[in-house]
Structure 1
Amino acid sequence: MKKLMLLIACAVTAFSVSAAPKTVDFDKLPNNSQEFIQKNFPNEKVKSVEMDREASWDKYTVYFNSGSQVSFEGGSGDCSEIIMKNGSVPAAVIPVKIKSFAGSKYGSQRIVMMQTTADGYKVKLSDGTFLEFDKEGDFVKATK
């Protein structure tokens, strides 16, 4: 019985260690993820890149020296989340309808986080307000 418990404990420990994010080189990112960073964050210095295995897919997160970060889906390399420590999410990556809505209703606020979700998009404004949009970029709701 003790051997079985020890074996289970070792297996759990081994699994948790292998599931932990690991640091990888920037060039291990999918090509379109590298291009996204170079195009939209030209003045940022990459501090580190982590790959996290979640179920059967990978997620990459790029951390900048400024404290901002960008996450990508491993298979497609598509951007899934941008979190800005200082400044705003680059306007070029925000869908037009979302940019237009936020500008007209919350003009004094900056978009400091943008995330793609199964239902569409979620953005966070500099005052802490969260806005949710469907896949077409139409406004769904706001929460604070």
Structure 2
Amino acid sequence: MKKIILGGAMALFGFSFMQAQSVNDLPQPAKDVIQKHYKAWKVDKVNIDKDDRQEAFQVKFANGAKMDFNIEGYLTEIKGDTEIPAALIPEKVKYFVQNKYPEQKIIEWEYEDGKHEIGLDNGTELEFDGNGKFLKVD
């Protein structure tokens, strides 16, 4: 009985990661972001990332950067060492950073629980509400 349960669990686990093997397996909004803003970057891995909230897609690039997309294919997180394209940052957040931190680059962005979290290249972390209103510096 243990072998059957273990075999079933392994099959389910393996299947969840086999569902997304390349950028072509992603939902269209995710493919659009990668094609438009990260076309020159080499994709290293595409996985389905399951956490306790929901399934999501994770794309890892050869340069170490990673992007997370929700199950519909909408961007939820970008992390890396290079500047995030301005078009991917909400206008109010981008404007705040340009005015308060003009020498810094946004290298991390996450949208979670209705808040935008931004990481700058100097290590500063900023938090904004869902409308782009500044909340705090971490």
The TM-score with structure 2 as length reference comes to 0.84
Cross-structure match for 2:117: 122
Give me the identity figure in percent: 28
Select which of 17, 36, 39 maps to 2:36: 39
Residues matched between the structures, number: 135
Unpaired runs of at least 5, structure 2: none
Cross-structure match for 1:81: 77
Looking at structure 2, the residues matched to 89 and 40 of structure 1 have their Cα atoms a distance apart, in angstroms, of 9
Cross-structure match for 2:27: 30
Instruction: Pick the structure with greater CA Rg.
Output: 1
Cross-structure match for 2:104: 109
Q: CA deviation at 1:66?
A: 1.4
1:61 counterpart = 2:62: no
Q: CA RMSD in A?
A: 2.5
1:79-108 alpha-carbon deviations (Å, 9 max, x no partner) = 0000123x2011110011111101111111
Change (3 A) 1:29 1:125: same
Unpaired runs of at least 5, structure 1: 1-5
